[in-house]
Amino acid sequence: MDTKILSDLGLTPTEIKVYLALLKIGQSTAPKIAVEANVERAVTYHILEKLIRKGIVSYINKENKRFFSASEPEKLGDLLKEKEEALNELIPDLNKLKQTSNPELLVEVFSGKDGLKTILNDFIADKNDYYIIGYTGISPRVLEHWFEHWNKRRIKFGVKRSILIREGDKKSPALHSPLTYVRVLSDKSLEKSTNSIVIYGKEKVCLFLPLKDFACIRLTSKEAHKSYKEYFDLLWKNSKKL
C-alpha cells in the first residue's frame, strides 16, 4: 500500500504504522496495537494520544482498560480541509509580503509533480473560469488521486473550464467531468501539436511543454493574456461540437 498520501496529510511514519495497525485489527488495547504495528508500547500510547487529537482515533473505557478504535478512513479528509483552511487564512499575509512591483511581463518555469500541483491550484485560486487550447492529459496521469481531489474542489468552487481538444483526445475521462465544456479543433495544422495552453485569471497564461515529465512556462502579462484569450475565442468559434 502506498502511504505517501498519509504523509502528505501530516502523519508521521510511526503515526501511519499505528493507524494502519488499528484499522486492521479493529478496536483494541494499546499493547496489542503496539505488537501489530511493531512499535514500542510507550511510544504507541503517545502516538495514540496524538491521533486522538487529530480526530482519527477514539477510545472507550471498558473493564478498567482503554480500548482504541480507528475512525472511518473518510475522516482523513478533515485533516486536508484543516490544512487548506489554515493556508487560506495565511494567504492574505503572504500576499502582503510579496513585492508590489508589477513588471509588464513576468516569466516563470514550473516542473515536476509539485510544480504541477502549484499550477493547478493557481487555476482555481480566484474561482474564475479558465480556457485550454490543446489537451495533454498529463494532470490525471501524473497526479492520479490528488488530481481527483483537486477536480472535486474545482467543481465545488463552481470553476468552469472550456477545452479545445484535438480529434484523437476525445476518450479522456477527465474531459467528461462536470463544468467542463469541450469542442474539437477544426484546424488540421493544430492536430500535430502536443502543446497545451491555459489562459486563466486576469493576466496569466501557462504553456505546457511536450516533455515526458511535467514542465510549463507561466507568463504573467495582461497583454499576453488578452492576446491568447482572443486566439482561444477565434478557435472556439471555428471548432466542432464534441
Q: What pLDDT shows up at residue 3?
A: 78
User: Do 4-76 and 103-241 fold alike per CATH?
Assistant: no
Q: Write down the number of H helices and E strands in the chain.
A: 9, 10
Q: What pLDDT shows up at residue 236?
A: 93
Q: What pLDDT shows up at residue 13?
A: 92
- Domain ranges within the chain, ordered by starting residue: 4-76, 103-241
Q: Read off the C-alpha cell for 142.
A: 501524473
The whole-number mean pLDDT for each consecutive block of 10 residues of the chain, a chain of 242 residues, reads 80 92 92 94 93 89 88 81 81 72 80 92 93 88 90 94 83 83 77 80 91 88 94 92 81
Domain 4-76, classified CATH 1.10.10.10, yes or no: yes
Angle, CA 78 vertex, CA 74 and CA 84 arms, to 5°: 135
The CATH class for the domain spanning 103-241 reads: alpha beta
pTM of the model: 0.61
Q: What pLDDT shows up at residue 163?
A: 93
Q: What's the rounded Cα separation, in Å, for the pair 21 and 29?
A: 12
Q: What's the rounded Cα separation, in Å, for the pair 212 and 210?
A: 7
Q: What pLDDT shows up at residue 103?
A: 66
Q: What's the rounded Cα separation, in Å, for the pair 37 and 6?
A: 16
Extract the runs of DSSP E, i.e. beta strands, from the chain: 57-62, 65-70, 106-111, 130-133, 161-165, 180-184, 196-200, 204-208, 215-220, 240-241
Q: What pLDDT shows up at residue 90?
A: 84
